[in-house]
A = this chain, B = another copy of it.
Amino acid sequence: MSEARMLGVLGGMGPLAGATFMQRLTLLTPATRDQDHIPAILWSDPRVPDRTAARLSGGEDPLPWLLRGLRGLEAAGCGAVAIPCNTAHGWFAAMQDATRLPILHIVEAAADELRRLGAHDGRIGLLATKGTLAMRLYQERLEGRGYEVLVPETEEMDRVVMPAIDEVKANRVAEAYAPLAEAATRLVARGARAVVLGCTEIPLGISAGPALPFPVADTIDALARAAIGWAKPAG
């Protein structure tokens, strides 16, 4: 049997984002038949405790669940791991310490996507969970590259962004479009030249309506491109 490199996907956070990651991984891969596609295992465990609640309000620690999934992906023979959940990257160092498999970092992938969109520096907007904002997962990495990161006001996070993310997790994807489009548009009005959809539920909501009239960095697609780059290195 051919020993092509198999990708591990630690998903389920949420499950629709993980499934859509697999779909985009497939659709973005140059292929003319099944056998050209990338072998992958999706470990979709939606029981992982809520990442934002763990960081901000003393909720159950997700790390044991994340490590359980990593061990499963190792045992299955995977050669690297992609995690289509931005907030889970708050536990990146602990996860990377616990596995010999390289973990592709979703914020690095998002930074590559911003460059692909032509946004090489300056103001960019960030829509993400309160957990991701509080942990400064994007700010730390993007400010070092010359970006200024704008985020919604706290009031707007509570009233608009977090409820829209919950709509997607509850399968009400279409209902999430208007509030997310509103929040992204407000960041552009404040001077952002592009908006990072820095929670994997957000591109699902944004894809449910008309395209926005400014560049958005979809972190599901960004991570899928990083995974394809790992599985099929150019040259």
Q: Does A98 sit within 8 A of B, measured CB to CB?
A: no
Is there an interface contact between B171 and A27, defined as CB atoms closer than 8 Å? yes
Is there an interface contact between A34 and B19, defined as CB atoms closer than 8 Å? no
Q: Does A65 sit within 8 A of B, measured CB to CB?
A: yes
Q: Does A152 sit within 8 A of B, measured CB to CB?
A: no
Q: Which residue of B lies closest to A3 (CB)?
A: B47
Size band of the interface chain A makes with B? 35 or more
When A1-B64, A1-B65, A64-B1 are in contact, do A22 and B46 touch as well, CB less than 8 Å?
no
User: What number of copies of this chain does the assembly contain?
Assistant: 2
Interface string of A35-65 (1 = CB under 8 A from B): 1111111111111111000000000000011
- Residues in B neighbouring A75, C-beta threshold 8 A: 75-76
- Residues in B neighbouring A32, C-beta threshold 8 A: 169-170
Is there an interface contact between B72 and A31, defined as CB atoms closer than 8 Å? no
When A42-B41, A44-B41 are in contact, do A26 and B34 touch as well, CB less than 8 Å?
no
- Tell me, in angstroms, the Cα distance from A38 to B76 when the chains sit together: 20
Select which of B2, B6, B45 is within 8 A of A39 by beta carbon.
B45
Among A7-15, A108-116, A124-132, A136-144, the stretch in contact with B: A7-15
Known contacts A15-B25, A34-B50; 10 additional CB pairs below 8 A are A12-B40, A13-B34, A14-B34, A16-B27, A18-B22, A31-B170, A38-B46, A41-B41, A42-B44, A72-B76
Query: Ordered nearest first, which 10 A-B pairs have the shortest CB separation?
Result: A19-B22, A37-B46, A42-B42, A19-B23, A34-B46, A15-B37, A15-B26, A32-B170, A14-B34, A40-B44
